[in-house]
Structure 1
């Protein structure tokens, strides 16, 4: 590959930085354009499953990230009263998928990915507009701050409301509201012992998980109309909705300050895109396949996208062929999971809980089963195999 090949990445989130790092490792001259004034991420924490950790192995940081794993002992699914429906241990997850599940602050991963790039590669406060997707005879063009940048490859990693996606596929309906909103908290919680868990209630869920360094990551979701906000503050809203649920939820809420609570409506791409590319432009992450967070795979799929895109950077049709079927399937599973755990029908909840308990007694916990065919993915090339290497067929 010519060393002068240039890539412009629109978006400096996890997917954008991972793709820039993967392309840089293959000799591309990479520029990342982030419209925010800094790379400080939106969101509290991120769950990385073995599939994404293998992709990070390609970038040379997989083991470092694995060392941040904090889940020890049992975890699983509970009812609001505290009854366990399904339990599984960290060792069982590692044995089933060949690696751990790691929960870490988003900022940690963003910082580590950014460190893989030359300092001048990232431009913040840079709003980019795709002006020409290019084709086989001409480069793509991006306008930023009155300057036109030409590139052999443009990567649209600008999130669920991607302007790059709209430019490529103006007839696509875009993201839709998933029917529920989420809250997230990342705080210190010294002296409180608990088992990692997700709790399913009536049209509501809560999760509490340890993060290395004595912190806890908690998230909640509830079925509610789009655009809603608490009349006072979001901590008070969480107390109203979850304050009488089992321990350690009351302790988490007591320790959180109103300003610690992030709230975001969930939007996803319900209609798959016709392709993950057009011309010399490729889409990845939420720009290509935004999905509900119910499987925790949004960021994981973006990291997968990044290493596969670097592998197929000169053949974007091959990138679409490798990624579109897989990400569509994962997104559909995430939607099905949301329907299961966010249902508000009392009869359906009773049947669901009975089935989960029975299935978990008969075999691997439902929590682990939900990752079958997802967490066992392997990248198409290995670390150090940057330029040529043996091409491996991507798992789907």
Structure 2
């Protein structure tokens, strides 16, 4: 029997593109030719596959019987080849085994031990660093307790404020550099009970102190002291620093707007009220000088503040807001007429002359910003030129 005869009827199973699912589907289709039948015949297909398996077993047995001597020779040759290969490679395999054993002993195991030691050392180092940071944190907390601010204290020395602000800045840096500290119960407790309340109180007192005194003096030493407080506030909270400077400006804007607005019904007081507004502007100029002289990283505090604002100059912001507010109130009263409107019209020259006189007295920078007040009374300037 030739090889082709042994393989007859099984060519499909030996094809390169044989697909078991497709073959199974074709067997089932061949066994279920009745389209009207409601039952699926699987038994016939299974029997046919079983018959094919039995037939393959029979043909294998027949091939073995017909070629027994050849098969024995093949098996003997294979066994002999294995023995020869083993003999020829045994020395090499033994050498490789010895080399690997030596490699494992001298390199792999020491490396594994070193890796484990390195991991342990890293954890010890992390623990040591954490303990060191916790000790620093606790030392700073103790300093807070020694310099604590009482809400009942009316006057708090600037030095105490600077010390507390510095302590809280250091605590912020410690917690930022090692965030895992916050996972420790001890740190959580002190941050909640000591650090948090003290930081809020320090910010409050710093802000109130600056709102009270900022810009009131042009004395270099006092400006230097104010600059230190501003720098401390900036380091402690940039958000509160920006907010505090805005409040310093707005407090003076509100005061000047109220003073000028009151003169509308008593316009002869306008020159005095305008002079008071100029004093407020000069105080803001002092604040600007202090901010400009106080360093902040690679720049100064004035640039840090102006980077968040539309205008770089505090006095420009001041006169812009004051002029707009006064213009609105002035024009409403002027258009309303009555005794107030008539008084404004009859005193228009005095109002304009007062503004021009004040502008002439100011420095070049002050003149440029004070000129915004000219626009606030533009309505009577127009009426005067008619």
Same topology, TM > 0.5: no
Which of the two has greater strand per residue?
A: 1
Largest Rg, 1 or 2: 2
TM-score for the superposition, normalised by structure 1: 0.19
**Higher RCO structure (Cα 8 Å, ≥6 apart):** 1
